[in-house]
Amino acid sequence: MTWSLHHVFGVLPHRIMAELSRRHGPLMFLRLGEVPTVVVSSAEMAEVVMKSKDLMFASRPRGVTLDVIGYGSGIGIIFAPYSDRWHQARKVCTMELLSAKQVKRMEGIRSEEVSNLLSSITTSIGTTINLTEKLSALMNDVIARAVFGGKCAQQGEYLRELEKVTALVGGFSLVDLFPSSRLVRLLSSGERRMRRSYGRIQCIISNIIEQRKEMRAAVSSNDEEDLLDVLLRLHKEDSLPYPLTLEAIGVIIFDLFAGGTKTSGITLEWAMSELLKNPENMRKVQLEVRQVVGGQQSVINNNDLHDLHYMRMVIKEVLRLHPPAPLLPRRAREDCEIMGYKIPEGTNVQVNIFVICQDCRYWDAPEAFKPERFKESNIDHKGTHFEFTPFGAGRRQCPGMLFGTSTVEIALANLLHHFDWVFPDGPNPGSLDMSEKFGINVRRKFDLELRATPYVLSKVA
């Protein structure tokens, strides 16, 4: 099946692919421009791609725009092709940057930034609050402090250019759909815009790295390492099979921001949206948080979250209905078969986890928001249940899953505990527009704007 360009632009690809799969089956071949693409739309076939034949499909799709970021040479984690260099970068990420020990160590950062969020909301009491912007700022500041140890002078500019780059990566660029066409490459502005924005990002990172190296050379410090310190230590030790160059450090930092700031912030945004749209679920989860935590007025930290079972069900249900990346991209590294169908080497594969998470073969009333469905279920999001893989599975599973879920849990618990939330125009859940906007992640099309009332004051009133 050849997908014409009007199918690609101006739509939500995960939803149009879901509609096509219901008509044509769980394994479809599409031609996106010149690019052969197979779409996988069942848990059984997803298990083949991400488990039993994971190594055969462990690479990522190539593209002109992605090559600009250094992924073409194998540098980086998120979109780099499978190779020994990529394996090393992922190992650095999982063992040195986002290990359970590091996530635990960064708990103080998360608590302090959530405290700043609560203070910001408190100062806006009585006005309409753009929660989308505040959650985005929260995640940007958490990642900046984790990576750089604090907020940087050029952080705002870095994030603006990052937004431009992720928009280009998440969209359908003509140069990626028609890679052999010189005319398309000449006429398309995507590659030029990518080079301009990513060049600026690398310049900013280079400045930060040089300033850090000069500071460490001038003053010995007993402070704990931030993630940039870890990367510079590995660069200086020069003990890895593939040298960790300053360019590679820049790409890894880009990956940390691109993967970390978007996914968690968007999940929080959808969680608040679903709870406001379903007042009974909101009442139930707020009651749990307030009973478990008690009258605590300070910031709830991760140590307080162990007994918040229903809130964790809410987060799972949000990830099921709104997986941050509904299409998981893979690429065949060799000729292979899926359920008797031949997949040539170099074919792109998109695992549509959105449609799998909405399939009535695996889920009762799949379109409904029902956190209780997870109460007696052992299904989790860690990549072993292929009807529910919001963070992927296998070699390409998201290495920041633990960091992301920890941040979502502490932020959501505090938002629910400290404030009651209503729409600016009153309690009308049906008025909330749940439209989506597609990109590197799928977020709300329209910002979430609400009014907050401090919980204690509301009880006194």
Enumerate the known binding-site residues for heme.
398
Phi-psi region of 123 (alpha: psi -120 to 50; beta: other; left: phi over 0): alpha
Q: Do residues 332 and 347 touch, judged by C-beta distance below 8 A?
A: yes
Residues in the chain: 461
Encoding tokens for residue 88? Answer: 């090393």
The whole-angstrom separation of Cα 234 and Cα 461 is 57
Secondary-structure percent of the chain, ordered helix, strand, coil, rounded to 5:
55, 10, 35
CA–CA distance, 420 with 85 (Å, rounded to integer): 49
Contacts with 214 (C-beta within 8 Å, 6 or more apart), sequence order: none
Residue 13 near residue 438, CB atoms below 8 Å: yes
- Residue in this structure with the two tokens 């790409």, named with its chain if needed: 251
Amino acid at 371: P
CB contact at 8 A, 189 and 133: no
The span from the CA of 98 to the CA of 109, in Å, is: 14
User: Helix axis angle, 155-170 relative to 190-218, nearest 10°?
Assistant: 140
The contacts of residue 236 (CB under 8 Å, 6+ apart) are none
Using an 8 Å Cβ cutoff, are 405 and 290 in contact?
Answer: no
Binding residues, as ranges, are: 398
